[in-house]
Structure 1
Amino acid sequence: MKRRLVLASNNAGKLREFAQLFKPFAIELIPQGQLGISAAEEPFDRFIDNALAKARHASKLSSLPAIADDSGICVDALGGAPGVRSARFAGEHCSDTDNNQKLLSLLAGDLNRKAHYVCALVVVREADDPNPIVVETHWDGEIIDEARGQHGFGYDPYFYVPEHQMTAAELSPERKNAISHRGQALVQLMEQLEKDPFFQKTDD
């Protein structure tokens, strides 16, 4: 049987991306919502710390190994904001549109549009795992003023990738998963999981 791994997220966009990314691997990914697990608090200022808190929370309540990510966009002209508050930049329960409108209003007239996405991925074998598997990656780009593309979520329509002359939302899901911060992080994570004795075993 496949090794079961709880995904500590209720974000629909992330669920879609992770499901696609995990297809090639012998791991059954179980969204925490299917197990009745609510979202964990994210009180920290670092992506890694929030990801670890979410993974431990999901593992504790499910008694299964868990994976969590904390990701967001960091804009140079805003001193790295929104950062860990990317999903709630415009306030609690705000929409992607609200967040993007706030971002663009703060950048109005600013010529420095450099930004990067960050993804911190953490896997814990159990809730109190003293040696969690940790990966953090960046994806560089720029913020543009007009939305482009129909794919992705969050800030993707405004995140322009000069190397590909497209926004993240214009890239096909398959292409985005191959080059994005989350795609890069998963590749690095899988390299570690493949060498980890715990993940060489399967669940009974």
Structure 2
Amino acid sequence: MPKLLLASNNRGKLREYASLLSGSGFELVTPADMGIDITVAETGTTFEENARLKAAALAEASGILTLADDSGLAVDALGGEPGVYSARYAGENATDTDRNAYLLSKMHTIPAEKRTARFCCVIAIAQPGHIIATFEGTCEGFISTEPRGTNGFGYDPVFYLPEYGKTMAELPSEIKNSISHRSIAAQKASRFLIQIATS
């Protein structure tokens, strides 16, 4: 089975992608699996630019087909924050708990109906030397007033989905993996990867 490098050593992301891409015809490996230790500066101003930067750099370093994503949360009442700074919101060494607390503190005066937000994910797939495809997924919801749930990571505990009456972190993995921004982008990427694997 051909290898596909996931341009991340984030274990939560690896678990999610292993499930989402299980039928793609590729074995998912990480930079750590391949002995690659590079940090790509995420200098893009959009999720797509950052995904492309990471995919190109890791494809070049590994010599194999590489999938990278950039994803984050965009809150309408905060002008799209945290956006591409989602992972660094509340400071460089902040934890998920710190970032969620910081976000909720910035929104404490915002009424329920104005707490609209979306998770965004852009996946870039690269071969050494060039980007061959990008895919986007979004998931619409609201920012809750407190964190709830333990199934997930990042902003999942404060991302409320009214149609389920739960935060993303309260949903079972099967449901989350069918509706999340990453899932939507990964489904598109998986169809593309199947074509590559079978051609």
* The two structures share one fold, judged by TM-score above 0.5: yes
Counterpart residue number, 1:80: 80
> 1:187 Cα deviation (Å)?
0.9
Tell me the SS of whatever aligns to 2:32. helix
Distance (Å, rounded) in 2 between the aligned partners of 1:12 and 1:193? 22
Counterpart residue number, 1:118: 120
What is the correspondence of 1:76-155 to structure 2 with a 5 Å cutoff?
76-111=76-111, 112-124=114-126, 126-129=127-130, 131-155=131-155
1:179 aligns with 2:174: no
Residue ranges of structure 1 left out of the alignment (5+ in a row): none
1:200 aligns with 2:184: no
Q: Alpha carbon RMSD of aligned pairs, Å?
A: 1.3
Tell me the SS of whatever aligns to 1:33. coil
Aligned residues: 196
Distance (Å, rounded) in 2 between the aligned partners of 1:34 and 1:194? 23
TM-score by length of 1: 0.92
Check the 8 A contact 1:10/1:39 in 2, yes or no.
no
Tell me the SS of whatever aligns to 1:34. coil
Check the 8 A contact 1:8/1:58 in 2, yes or no.
yes
Of structures 1 and 2, the one scoring higher in RCO (CA 8 A, sep 6+) is: 2
Percentage identity across aligned positions? 42
Check the 8 A contact 2:25/2:193 in 1, yes or no.
no
Distance (Å, rounded) in 2 between the aligned partners of 1:115 and 1:156? 12
Distance (Å, rounded) in 2 between the aligned partners of 1:164 and 1:24? 27
Residue ranges of structure 2 left out of the alignment (5+ in a row): none
Runs of 4+ in 1 over 4 A off after TM superposition: none
Distance (Å, rounded) in 2 between the aligned partners of 1:166 and 1:53? 34
Distance (Å, rounded) in 2 between the aligned partners of 1:102 and 1:148? 15
